[in-house]
Amino acid sequence: MKPIEIAKDIYWLGVIDWNIRDMHGYSTPYGTTYNAFLIVDEKIALIDAVKKEFADELIDGISQIVEPKKIDYVISNHTEMDHSGGLPRVMHKIGEDKPLYCSKMGLKNLPRHFRQKWNYQPVENRGELTLGKRTLTFMETRMLHWPDSMFTYVKEDKILFSSDAFGQHYAGLERFDDQVGDAIMPHAKKYFANILLLYSHLILKLVGKVQEMGLSLDMICPDHGIIWRQDPSKIINAYVEWSTQTPKRKAVVVYDTMWHSTQTMAEAIVGALGQKGVDTRSMHLRCCDRSEIMTEVLDAGAVIVGSPTLNNGLFPTVSDFLTYMKGLKPKNKIGAAFGSYGWSGEAVKLINRELEAMKFELIGPGVKVQYVPNDQCIEACYQLGQKIADALS
Ligand code: FEO
């Protein structure tokens, strides 16, 4: 990709990963980008360093603007390998002795990844670095989404380099929000639901801090996906809404099935929810990826989980999903369990235990049936759906 000048003497130098379909368990059907940026001032600074496999592409991009050895400073906003994997190659090209600015946690984490004695320059929260006409301000953003994460802000241009925050896993030739329009929002939502949801409280705190600091923002440049320049407040407002986790009158019925019995139960519950006007998603765990399901869970008021009992336990895909959802700590949900069994029937109890551990409000003990649902079981599922719908009112 050719570098793109996003503001005077500030360049996007990202690379597009069209082919990635799985990012540590998160499905990326649209690929992603790893964004890096170059600021050319009296001193030249590179912000972030893309994934290892794309390091030469980044160096190529830099060379189209300046001789790589002319870079004075490298800023590492985040240690995760998709933004730092290219560092060894980049540092080798620009000079191993060049100052490498990072957060205090970055100082711990970068050597643990690369075992290199680079010229680390840990920065204080709100510490500054002057490039000439411009000054960079660093803001620690611990756990957004690693302990080492930080933002870099250029006050003269009102640009925030936000690392993972406000990103989207979306590979495309468009570089800016105004080129994609609202079509980018589902990608941003999925990214939030699967990467940042558990840090919602920190996001609300951070947004409060940014407002308190009176930071003006003309542009937000995340490390993945498009740059927000037309309306940066749109993504900030979306983050506030998603972080608040106000439940909608929406239900997600997520299940797996062996011989269609649990599926038949799911269909009865979905039917009852639909009849009561609840916005309902029916998600079979071997048809929908867990990260797609989490995206729907984000703003749902109810999550109803179904599993057959397999070998005295949960069906493996259901265990996988519950473990994944538990880690992301969704809040303000009601829940229920259902499932069929042959002879022991532990699944409903096990789901309930997990939902309670997630602090979901359980709507009843759940519905279970031996082998194949009869009319009585279908009626019980239907009533469960109605009760959930009433609880969502
Ligand atoms: Fe895109 Fe936390 O790395």
pLDDT in tens, 168-211: 999 999 999 999 999 999 999 999 999 999 999 999 999 998 88
Res 26: pLDDT: 93
Cα(83) to centroid of ligand 1, in Å?
Answer: 7
**What average pLDDT does this structure show over 78-96?**
98
Cα(188) to centroid of ligand 1, in Å?
Answer: 14
Q: Is 82 a catalytic residue?
A: yes
For ligand 1, say whether the CB of 145 is within 6 Å of any of its atoms. Answer: yes
For ligand 1, say whether the CB of 80 is within 6 Å of any of its atoms. Answer: yes
**What average pLDDT does this structure show over 242-259?**
98
Torsion of CA 157, 158, 164, 165, to 10 degrees: -170
Q: CA angle, corner 53, sides to 294 and 39, nearest 5?
A: 90
Res 338: pLDDT: 98
For ligand 1, say whether the CB of 289 is within 6 Å of any of its atoms. Answer: no
pLDDT tens figures, 11-44:
999 999 999 999 999 999 999 999 999 999 999 9
Taking the CA of residue 224 as reference, the ligand 1 atom at the shortest distance is 1
Q: Which of 83, 169, 187, 224 is catalytic?
A: 224
Residue 1 has pLDDT above 80, yes or no: no
Q: Which of 11, 191, 199, 341 is catalytic?
A: 191
Rg (CA), the chain: 24
Cα(309) to centroid of ligand 1, in Å?
Answer: 37
Taking the CA of residue 149 as reference, the ligand 1 atom at the shortest distance is 2
For ligand 1, say whether the CB of 78 is within 6 Å of any of its atoms. Answer: yes
pLDDT tens figures, 206-216:
999 888 888 89
> Distance (Å, rounded) from C-alpha 84 to C-alpha 81?
5
Which of 373, 45, 82, 124 lies closest to 222 in space, CA to CA? 82
Residue 82 has pLDDT above 90, yes or no: yes
Residue 254 has pLDDT above 90, yes or no: yes
Contact, 71 vs 102, CB < 8 A?
no
Backbone angles phi, psi at 33, to 5 degrees: -125, 155
Res 112: pLDDT: 97
Res 253: pLDDT: 99
pLDDT tens figures, 50-70:
999 999 999 999 999 999 999
Please give the model's pTM, rounded to 2 decimal places. Answer: 0.96
Which of 108, 138, 113 lies closest to 52 in space, CA to CA? 113
Q: Which of 41, 82, 256, 346 is catalytic?
A: 82
> Distance (Å, rounded) from C-alpha 298 to C-alpha 332?
10
pLDDT tens figures, 309-333:
999 999 999 999 999 999 999 999 9
> Distance (Å, rounded) from C-alpha 297 to C-alpha 300?
5
For ligand 1, say whether the CB of 51 is within 6 Å of any of its atoms. Answer: no
Q: Is 284 a catalytic residue?
A: no
Give 90-117 as a DSSP string: HHHHH-TTSEEEE-HHHHHHHHHHH---
Q: Is 260 a catalytic residue?
A: no
Residue-averaged pLDDT of the chain: 97
For ligand 1, say whether the CB of 223 is within 6 Å of any of its atoms. Answer: yes
Residue nearest to atom 3 of ligand 1 (CA): 80
In order of 144, 200, 201, 202, 209, the CA distances from 205 in angstroms are 12, 9, 6, 5, 6
Taking the CA of residue 34 as reference, the ligand 1 atom at the shortest distance is 1
**What average pLDDT does this structure show over 306-310?**
98
Residue nearest to atom 2 of ligand 1 (CA): 80
Q: Is 177 a catalytic residue?
A: no
Res 211: pLDDT: 84
**What average pLDDT does this structure show over 262-268?**
98
Cα(141) to centroid of ligand 1, in Å?
Answer: 13
Res 188: pLDDT: 98
Cα(59) to centroid of ligand 1, in Å?
Answer: 20
pLDDT tens figures, 118-175:
999 999 999 999 999 999 999 999 998 899 999 999 999 999 999 999 999 999 999 9
For ligand 1, say whether the CB of 17 is within 6 Å of any of its atoms. Answer: no
Res 393: pLDDT: 78
Give 3-25 as a DSSP string: -EEEETTEEE--EEESS--EETT
Give 208-221 as a DSSP string: HHHHHHT---SEEE
